[in-house]
């Protein structure tokens, strides 16, 4: 899966998957809404599209069903752009952002995100 945006371009809902066995790219089901500057995280056999420029929504991709579905959104006012995300032990962690410096985590079910202590610097998450 690739994500991104070049300066001056618009957000996209297109998603591509690379098959290392066939060495071919193929387009899969598009996101529910166009996104740019999102974070894409793998957790427990699913992919999570987290936020994006001025978006607080989160989508989960099920590769077996080739389907995106909505899960708990990020708290309003948490991240506008430039956030980071990763997963560890069945939890999804989101930090940073260009307007606020917070650390959030969501349990595997992704029914609700929880806010940890305020963070005062930009972060990069690696677990």
Per-residue pLDDT tens listing for the chain (127 residues): 455 555 566 888 999 999 999 999 999 999 999 988 888 999 999 999 988 877 888 999 999 999 999 998 887 766 555 578 888 888 888 876 655 545 555 555 555 555 555 544 444 444 4
**Residue 114, token pair as written in the block:** 């929880």
Residues 6+ apart with CB under 8 A from 12: 5, 34, 35, 36
Does the pTM surpass 0.85? The reply is: no
């Amino acid at each position: 899966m690739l994500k991104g945006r070049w300066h001056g371009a618009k957000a996209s809902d297109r998603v591509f998957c690379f098959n290392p066995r066939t060495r071919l790219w193929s387009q899969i089901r598009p996101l529910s809404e166009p996104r740019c500057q999102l974070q894409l995280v793998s957790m427990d056999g699913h992919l999570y599209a987290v936020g994006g420029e001025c978006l607080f929504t989160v989508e989960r991709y099920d590769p077996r069903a080739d389907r995106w579905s909505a899960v708990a959104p990020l708290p309003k006012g948490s991240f506008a752009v430039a956030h980071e995300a990763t997963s560890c032990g069945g939890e999804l962690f989101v930090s940073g952002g260009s307007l606020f410096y917070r650390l959030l985590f969501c349990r595997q079910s992704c029914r609700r995100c929880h806010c940890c202590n305020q963070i005062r610097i930009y972060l990069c998450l690696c677990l």
